[in-house]
Amino acid sequence: MIRRLCIVGVGLIGGSLARALRAAGVVEEIVGTSRNAAHLQRAEELGVIDRFDTDIAAAAQGADLVFVSVPLGAMRAVFEALKGRLAEDAVLTDAGSAKASVVEDARAVFGEVPACFVPGHPIAGTEQSGVDASFAELYRDRRVILTPLDNTDAQALARVRALWESAGAVVTEMAVEHHDEVLAATSHLPHALAFTLVESLARMSDQREIFEYAAGGFRDFTRIASSDPVMWRDICLANRNALLAMIAHFTGDLAQLAELINEGDGERLLEFFETAKRARDAFAG
């Protein structure tokens, strides 16, 4: 049971966690905080949180668990606001999509990464944002990756694992660097490609006709380009090295595809597509 949960950033991710934990009956009180009082007021009206305070330190006072769900670029400022203000037995965790930058922010603010801090990343979301888009089932049967460090307190790790399992998630653990490499390939690159395709087509002179005749494939592929631009700007910058490596790898494969098309090599082109289809079908199954 979580006596008091403080959520920093009550949007899709933070709001959905609050709803899931409340539905599971494992939290007594939920306090929300952010810089936007109107957003917090809406979260309170929806019953997602019990009360709020725009002062992060005040909101976290007395909380036994603090969950930080803000864009990566705002993470360090949140840690600075929390420094010296957490309860002695409080556990701190986050939902950042790139873990190395979060760990570095914590180290820069606290001097060393606190033993009570458990870096985490829920592999869940939608292209929508804001507390109105939150729902209790977001994490059900979805993966959550925790990236504990050598000094992470075992009890804090167990509490964060229990938190996510109560929300219905499947929890795994991974090294920080490995997490960032895996997510660069499976999440950050796809989002970068979707944003790039839409931005590229939007600059074409006949963009109205292009989007007018866009079919379901375009809609499906580019759905994630409706995601929060601020969040994805921060992710790309925070995980730049791993993402740039994946972009270079993909660029080489795209050049290979262009070469096959240019040469009219139907046999190898079919093999290229069949290999991709088998991999996608296995993943979908």
Note the pLDDT tens digit of each residue in 254-264.
999 999 999 99
**Residue 268 backbone dihedrals phi, psi, to 5 degrees:** -70, -30
Length of the chain: 285
Q: At what angle do helices 240-263 and 189-202 cross, to 10 degrees?
A: 60
Q: Report whether 76 contacts 18 (CB < 8 A).
A: no
| The pLDDT of residue 211 | 81
Domain range holding 89? 2-174
Residues 166 and 25 reside in one and the same domain: yes
Residues 8 and 82 reside in one and the same domain: yes
Digitized pLDDT (tens) for each residue of the chain, 285 residues in all: 999 999 999 999 999 999 999 999 999 999 999 999 999 999 999 999 999 999 999 999 999 999 999 999 999 999 999 999 999 999 999 999 999 999 999 999 999 999 999 999 999 988 888 999 999 999 999 999 999 999 999 999 999 999 999 999 999 999 999 999 999 999 999 999 999 999 998 888 666 677 887 788 888 899 999 999 999 999 999 999 999 999 999 999 999 999 999 999 999 999 999 999 999 999 887
Q: Which CATH number goes with the domain that contains 14?
A: 3.40.50.720
Instruction: Answer with the one of 143, 174, 205 that is the final residue of a domain.
Output: 174
| The pLDDT of residue 207 | 64
| The pLDDT of residue 212 | 80
Instruction: Answer with the one of 116, 147, 174 that is the final residue of a domain.
Output: 174
Residues 192 and 135 reside in one and the same domain: no
Alpha carbons 109 and 83: distance in angstroms, whole number: 7
**Residue 67 backbone dihedrals phi, psi, to 5 degrees:** -115, 120
Pick from 99, 90, 102, 113: nearest CA to 160: 90
Give the count of domains, the chain: 2
Residues 98 and 16 reside in one and the same domain: yes
| The pLDDT of residue 205 | 63
Alpha carbons 134 and 132: distance in angstroms, whole number: 6
Alpha carbons 52 and 58: distance in angstroms, whole number: 9
Residues 164 and 249 reside in one and the same domain: no
Instruction: Answer with the one of 112, 139, 174 that is the final residue of a domain.
Output: 174
Residues 39 and 144 reside in one and the same domain: yes
Residues 38 and 159 reside in one and the same domain: yes
| The pLDDT of residue 266 | 96
Q: Which CATH number goes with the domain that contains 252?
A: 1.10.3660.10
Residues 60 and 194 reside in one and the same domain: no
